[in-house]
Chain A
Amino acid sequence: MNKMVIDEAFLGELEAIQSLLRNNVAGAFGGNRRSKSFGSSCEFADYREYVPGDDVTKIDWNVYLRHEQLYEKLYYDERQMHTRIYIDASRSMAHGQDDEKAEQAIRLAAAIAYLSIAEMDKVSIYAIKGGELVEVVSGIVGKDSYLGCINKLNEIEFDTDARISEAILPSRVGYGDGLSVVISDFLTDANFEDGIDRLVGQKRDVLCVQILSREELNPQMRGKMHLFDSEDGSRFFRKKIDRDVARAYKDALAFVQDRIRTFCESREARYMLVRAYTPISEVFFGQLADMEVIK
């Protein structure tokens, strides 16, 4: 990226977003949250029948007096979360007027990272290039670290293809320790489902963000067109594009979106469509709030 997407103005905007979220929403994005496993915090979670070998100090004797059965008290495990953000760095993300999809992807990643950092979470940001993950920001904690290295997002080059599953499957994704965000246009017939499955399988909260440009959402081109694929020079689409074809395109796009959404819902993951031209604050206070990704 040659443009400075992450600049001072943007960071100021993030600060404002974070401030508003803190003031208005309790227990917002990320932070020192209880993990999905039981642990040793002070917060009571549930009862469980005593099994020989369990820690006898956790037996609730009051319950025993009432029911004459041994029950252990369970407590939430409380530990630092690790937010992992995966950015599709394929050419399709950077194609179009003013690279709007790529910019939006970077802004979104930076914003999520910022909010996680604000909640004292650890944040890693990866670029998916081909079938590999390129670490852009690794395990940063605290705002100083964030501000020190977030500019690296500006340096992501969107110049390859992106095979999401192939990149995520062999990587370390952590286990039950936070949020995984996959930002892509998902305009591919390549497998991405296995990657999502891997993240879900590792007990992570998964959010799939599909970024689409204005032209992709509502193509205006008409007439005899020979369309080349920006990622694969051997792929092309040749047709006279009229209203019927445009309608069929929209049908196909809706089908693809629905397929991703259905897949995500079946895996208890979340799916969100972000328009490349939507301001980032609107994304947070509108779409993410509606989806209860942030509270």
Chain B
Amino acid sequence: MSFINPLGLLGLIGVPIIIIIYILRNKYNEQTVPSTYIWELSERFYKRRNPLSAIAGIISLILQLLLVVSISLAIARPVFVVPDSAGEYCLVIDSSASMSVRSGLSTRHEKAKSEALRIINDAADGSTFTLIHAAGESTVVYERLTDKRLAREMLAELECSMGTSSYSDALKAAQKYFDDNSSFSVYLFTDKEVAEHENLEIVNVSSQNDVNFAINNVTHKHQGGELSVECEIISYGKSASVEVALYLDGSTRAAAKRTATVEDGKAAPVSLSTAVEGYQSYRIAILNSDALAEDNEYISYNHENETSYSVLIVSETPFFFRAVLDVLTDAKVDVVSPAAYTDAEGYGLAIFHSYTPSVLPDCAVWLVNSTASVEGSGFGARGSVALEDPGRIVMSSSTATAARKLLEGVGGKEIYIGEYVKYSGMYTKFTTLFTYDSSPVIFAGTNALGNREVVIGFDIHKADIALSTDFAVLMGNLLDFSCPDVFEGSSFTCGTDAVINVTSRIKNVKAVSPSGEELYIDTSADVASFRLSEVGTYTVSMTVGGEEKTYKIYSGAPAEESDPYQAIESFSLAGERGYLRTDGEFDPVTIIFIALALLFTADWMVYCYEKYQLR
């Protein structure tokens, strides 16, 4: 036996103190009576009436001594070692969106937690508990925790994610503990059928009668004053007639309604359309009630009105750029000659063709055939190199995300140039897209002002790129890079990252989740992101070029999680399972507190009996 707080035993000093007090207070009133004969005789009758009469006089003392001892023990917290009674438990709780399916009063996730709680409660004291939260990214909530109370509290705080679960991550984490100790008792609490499992217990919390409907594959078209929305309605659990409605701009009045007959497990296409000139958002919703409400709606926010910028072309021969911009954007395009150029204030993008400004403007910039160096551009120009024969430029084969995105759709096989500008001394990280003779000729990055910068190291009039099919695609990619939409799309899937294209104009980005949680986004990189962990509308506010802007994006439940009857192929731990137990502990604090309560009650009753003769 050991004590958690041995100092609590100091309370035992109270034992002799109480005895001394009892002795000092134990005064009898003396009185002379005619005869003690009857009193003496009464002892026989009293003992017959009350067999415990012998200790009746010291019951109060005994109770008070037991109270002092119990209080001391309650403070000292004795712990007894119980050999071979404890185990090591690893509890893996599936927190995928389907665990939010509600059957009756509780969700599957709540059932899983209560089952895990039962295991914790039943385990002998001294056992260790490891909790793995299998969500989009599986995390170890706690490992080898011996404090049952803390284990229970942290388990209770566990929330179901609305994304998919990474079972491989969870399995990897569980395997680590199993490798450490093969006697680890691993439990997976899930609603999925696990076809194959080894060395662990599956606690299936699914139910068989759940019916769920979901909206998938939503597309829309807004043309000619009519908004048409196409989607698929899928039913799990039974065939049903599902009513779907379309709402505009947050209205609760349906703009259109359809009823689709959906067979169990199959998708049924549904089209909804309504006449509207413009809209901020639309929402489609399934009106039938089901086991998982989170996948019954889809919202799309219209960000087109939010993105507008203008372009300044500084060139004597702007034809190609002007033409391609007219095709690719609705942006306002201004053209000035190099001689007339003073600054590019108010523009989102400045294209300098065969001209190098003395100072970089505070906006996105394209430097085309720039033969001079400019401060802050991030590179140095070493002059033009004329080629005797046209030379083919080579497209980068980099697998980096930025390069792949900038070269998306670009063939880049047969582009020839007549001369090029040799650049060197790049001191900013650029993504090289094309090279000639190992010298970068098209590259993109961020300049010293924090603005996006694209450098094309040759005159497009002295190359055949403008005549190739790659030109428009490449220009489109470079435009998207230079003046990106803040969000690529307005609808996302919960559990994934929402990506913000950060430009120098964007500052102070803050996202507020549907539940009100505030997320402050780091905008130091070109691309910022935050994890969508809830289903619903996220509100993202930011300062764009000094102007406060607010965007809304919708985070929907993953389509695969709508199926309440999913299966996992395998969840097995490699190795030979052992069954060794460790020494457990028995903490009698509950018993001590119950004893304390009983002793207090008994002492109080004895006091009342003595004081008021209640009987």
Contacts and interface: CB of A to CB of B under 8 A. Distances in A.
Nearest to B56: A240
A238 B33 CA distance: 12
B579 interface: no
A242 B38 contact: no
8 contacts: A215-B33, A225-B29, A228-B31, A228-B36, A229-B35, A235-B36, A239-B43, A247-B45
Contacts of A95: 32-34
Nearest to A92: B34
A96 B31 contact: no
Contacts of B38: 187, 216, 249, 252-253, 256
A226 B29 contact: yes
A48 interface: no
Interface in B26-65: 26-46, 49-50, 53, 56-57
Contact of B34 (A96, A223, A239, A247): A96
Contacts of A226: 28-31
B240 to A, nearest CB: 76
Nearest to A223: B29
Contact of A227 (B36, B43, B610): B36
A249 B42 CA distance: 5
Looking at chain A's contact residues, the main secondary structure is mixed
Interface residues of A, number: 42
B221 interface: no
Given A225-B29, A226-B28, A249-B39, A185 B34 contact: yes
Contacts of B40: 235, 237
Contact of A101 (B26, B32, B34, B609): B34
B615 interface: yes
Given A226-B28, A243-B615, A252 B42 contact: yes
B613 interface: yes
Nearest to B50: A244
Contacts of B44: 252
A255 B41 CA distance: 9
Contacts of B39: 227, 237, 239, 249, 252
Nearest to A242: B613
Nearest to B615: A243
Contacts, number: 110
Contacts of A247: 45, 49
A248 B50 CA distance: 10
Contacts of B42: 245, 248-249, 251-252
A231 interface: yes
A151 interface: no
Interface of A: 91-93, 95-96, 101, 185, 187-189, 213, 215-216, 221-231, 235-240, 242-245, 247-249, 251-253, 255-256
Interface in B512-564: none
Per CB-CB distance, the 9 closest pairs between chain A and chain B, nearest first, are: A248-B46, A187-B35, A92-B34, A248-B45, A252-B41, A226-B28, A252-B42, A237-B39, A251-B45
Nearest to A93: B34
Interface string B571-613: 0000000000000000000000000000000000000011001
A197 to B, nearest CB: 21
A185 B35 contact: yes
Instruction: Determine which residue in A96, A228, A248, A252 has the highest number of CB atoms from chain B within 10 A of its CB, and name it.
Output: A248
Contacts of A230: 32-35
A259 to B, nearest CB: 10
Contacts of A240: 56-57
A221 B609 CA distance: 16
Contacts of A227: 30-33, 36, 39
Contacts of A231: 34-35
B299 to A, nearest CB: 79
Nearest to A95: B34
A251 B50 CA distance: 13
A256 B28 contact: no
Contacts of A213: 34
Contact of A187 (B34, B50, B615): B34
